[in-house]
Every structure is written in C-alpha cells, then in structure tokens.
Structure 1
C-alpha cells in the first residue's frame, strides 16, 4: 500500500469536496428547472426559516413546496383561521399550559422553538405528558400555515408577552 503525502491527502480531500459540490449544484439546478422568480423567493424563505429552526430541509423539498404554494395546490388561504382567532386559541392554550408549569420550564429556558413545540402550533413532536388531554395537543395550524409568515407576528407577540409574565394560568 502506497502512503500518501500530506499534500496528496489535501488534494484528495479537495477533489472529494469539489465532486460533492458539483453533485449538489447539479441537484439544485435540476430543482430550479421551470421555477419562477416568485417560487425562487419562497424557496429561499423556506430554506432560511428551516435553517433558523434547525430543520433538515433540502433545496428540492423547499422548491417543491414553493411550487405547490404558488401554483395554488396548497390550501386556499381564505380558509385559514384569522390572525385574531389563532391568537385567541394560542393564548387559551398558553393559559392552560401555565396551570401546570411556568414559562421558563415550558420553554426550556426561554427558547422560542421550544415555545412553538410546547404550544403544539403545528403538532406536538413529543410523547404527550402523563394525564394530558390529547385535544390540548392537537395542531392549531397546519404545517403549511405555520411555515407561512402569516402567523409569525402573532406567535412572536404571544411569546414576548409570555416571557414578560403577562399571561396567567386559566
């Protein structure tokens, strides 16, 4: 077996990285075929949101979702809950959660992501707590509604006010 020098190892790593980058670029280009400017903008927004939330979303998945949204395959936004109705439901759920825990515990030290999960906004990702009413953990929004930016200001406002202690247990 021939032993590689440090320079040869470095060049081998560079070639492997270049090959991986070319493969990724090819996949991204295939996903871009026939995509509109609006779909590209939405794709980038979905990827940015996923990255901020630590979700593993590929470019192709985001592009396909963007295509569906722009083409109207997604649910009609007129059928979505109003921001006021969603806020009322979220505040009611928060008040119920605060009956058995405090904000810091609920959010694992004030994490916005943990707040979203604890409120089961688009579903509850964990096993239900012992003795919990399953209806209190049903999604308030579909994943599509949650991933849109329509409800973000409501969620952010409720989270901020909760962090200040403005909500009381129901």
Structure 2
C-alpha cells in the first residue's frame, strides 16, 4: 500500500513539474522518511570521533571510526535516530544523528586552492588552502562557493571542493 502511494506521489510530482509548478530536480528529489529533508544531503561531523556502524543500531558492529571534527558527509538514508552516510571516498555506514550537524563544510580537493576576493579569477587571491583542508561553506553561485578556513575567507571554484552539489545555489 505504501509503495503504491509513493509511486502515485512521484507521478503526481512529475506531472506538476511538467506543468510548471516545480523544477524537475525538485520533483525528483527524494525526502527522508524521518526528517522530511532532501536525500541525499550534506552534513558535517559534530564530534571529533564518530563510530560508523554496519547497521542502524548500537548492536551493529563498528566498521571504523571517523576522527575529524567538521568533516563533510553525505546522508543517503534515514532510519529512526540513525543516518546512513558516506564520505568523499564513498565509504560509509550508519551514524547516530546526534553526532551530525547541519553546519555545511567542504573538503578541499585541489592543493593550494586559491580563495579570491570575489567569484572571479581576475580578482586578488586572499589565501590558498592545502589539499584536504576542511572549510566552512558560505554562499554558492553557479561555479563558485564562498569558503572560510583558518581565519581566511574568499571564493573558490566549486569543482575544487567536495561537499556541495554541482548545481547547488546558496545565499
């Protein structure tokens, strides 16, 4: 019965999108059963140490431990108080929701990533970030995002970081 409802809702959303009510992206975007937030979505680690479990409960085995506060993770599923996450490398598992934060961060994927004064390569470089640095995410335009790390801030090319969707816009 629930599966029939989900299929009907997806068809209705697609029809609404085609008629101009929603963008196709909004219509196709899945929502979490627990939070009703979009799936997938990016979050960050609230704690400096997070157990990643094989399943959504304390009785499931710990596969590994993330040890980097503010590390960006992608939530791909929800079950009660648990969120299935994956990291930059695609590895993941189940994490208790209390260990995650909605604060957005990104992982620098290009060594000596230039932070510009404005979203334009011809503007002055304010700072450079090393490969693997975690930066806080601010506004995002089509090709640029505003980042801050280590007391520095500026605009970087969006494709040089992990933790933001390619088509994501933020104010």
Category of TM-score, reference length = shorter chain: under 0.3
TM-score by length of structure 2 reads 0.23
Structure whose residues are more often strand by fraction: 2
Is the radius of gyration larger for structure 1 or structure 2? 1
Structure 1 or 2: more helix by fraction? 1
- Larger RCO (alpha carbons 8 Å, 6+ apart): 1
TM-score scaled to structure 1, two decimals? 0.23
